Structure 1
Amino acid sequence: MRPWGDDDVEPLVRAYRDPTLRRWTRHHVESIEDAMERLELRRRGWETGELLSFAVQEEQSGTGEGRLAGEVVMKRTGPSQESAEVGYWTAAHARGRGVAPRALDALTSWAFDAFAAEGLRRLELLHQVDNSASCRVAQKAGYRFHEVLPARPPFPRDGHLHRRRADAPA
């Protein structure tokens, strides 16, 4: 995991050309301008503390180089400091190799450490019920299934709510 940078503009556009990623995300990156706007939103999110996002970089063996493999994010928009929502996406080339669960677990550990003094005790992850890959990622990262949430705009289908508590083992 690393901060987003200006060098991520084109890789972000490339990642969002993937139809699977587009199927499961609401906000798409169609152009260089969209990517620049997305990165600016990420910078502002860190300034306000409401949207703490990391680029997930996959190291290419022996080169010291890496390429964009996805994103993990923590949203802190409610009045309570006790809970926050996490999310992620994975680029097509990085799927099926444990990148998402490892990144989500790293974000989770960081969040509980960084915000323990502010009272963070629970992280929640939501996904559509028919997104079985996200369900597996949640479970591998120690997020336990909590309940089914009914569909409501802008979400077209029912969803799963998974939770991980700070005092629970992964």
Structure 2
Amino acid sequence: MILREFTVEDAAWYAEATRDPEVQRFTADPPTITAAQVARAIEERGKNPAVASFCIEDDGERCGNVAVDVENGVGHVSYLVTANARGRGLATRALTEFVAWIFAHHEVDELRLWTHRDNAGSRKVAERAGFVRDPDRDQDREIKGSVWPTVAYAVRRRR
């Protein structure tokens, strides 16, 4: 498994990957996202040092992504794994490696993430990667026209 920076050549793959019904259950990306929109987002991320996005690859196959947006000294992490990669531990390995990369390259003391309350797989990934439940930050969020009950997680930089 490797993490590599997203490029515009990944845009069509990502747009297609988000159309998977299982991914749509738990991603904020709309099912109508286009390769052109993804390419623009990748280009914009490249201009902002507070944002990073990596493609998860395994044996040369794209399997998902991990991303972070740093704001006010806190990193907000997200991740997605495609159907072909689930159940192999790739998401946990990718998130664990990504967390180490973030702490090595960004001035943040805490990383946070949230997931849909019913997304058991994502919750397990977060916990296995060292994130701890942060119930004080749980909230209902409006996502794609629906209200999602979300649960929060956090991990702090080890000193």
Could you say which TM-score interval applies, normalised by the shorter chain?
A: 0.7 to 0.9
Partner of 2:64: 70
User: Normalised by the size of structure 2, how large is the TM-score?
Assistant: 0.87
Partner of 2:53: 53
Residue 100 of structure 1, CA deviation: 0.5
Aligned with 2:4: secondary structure?
coil
Q: Distance in 2 between matches of 1:52 and 1:29?
A: 22
Instruction: Say whether residues 1:111 and 2:102 are aligned partners.
Output: yes
Q: Which runs of 5+ in 2 are unaligned?
A: none
Q: Distance in 1 between matches of 2:61 and 2:27?
A: 21
Give the 4+ runs in structure 1 shifted more than 4 A.
none
Identity among equivalent pairs (%) = 26
Partner of 1:158: 149
Q: Distance in 1 between matches of 2:56 and 2:65?
A: 5
Paired residues, what number? 154
CA contact (8 A) 1:29 1:35 kept: no
Aligned with 1:104: secondary structure?
helix
Who wins on radius of gyration, i.e. which is larger?
1
User: Normalised by the size of structure 1, how large is the TM-score?
Assistant: 0.82
RMSD: 1.8
CA contact (8 A) 1:70 1:89 kept: yes
For residues 22-61 of structure 1, the aligned pairs below 5 Å read: 22-28=24-30, 30=32, 34-59=34-59
Q: Which has the higher strand share?
A: 2
Partner of 1:5: 7
Larger RCO of the pair (alpha carbons < 8 Å, separation 6+) = 2
Paired amino acid for 2:111? L
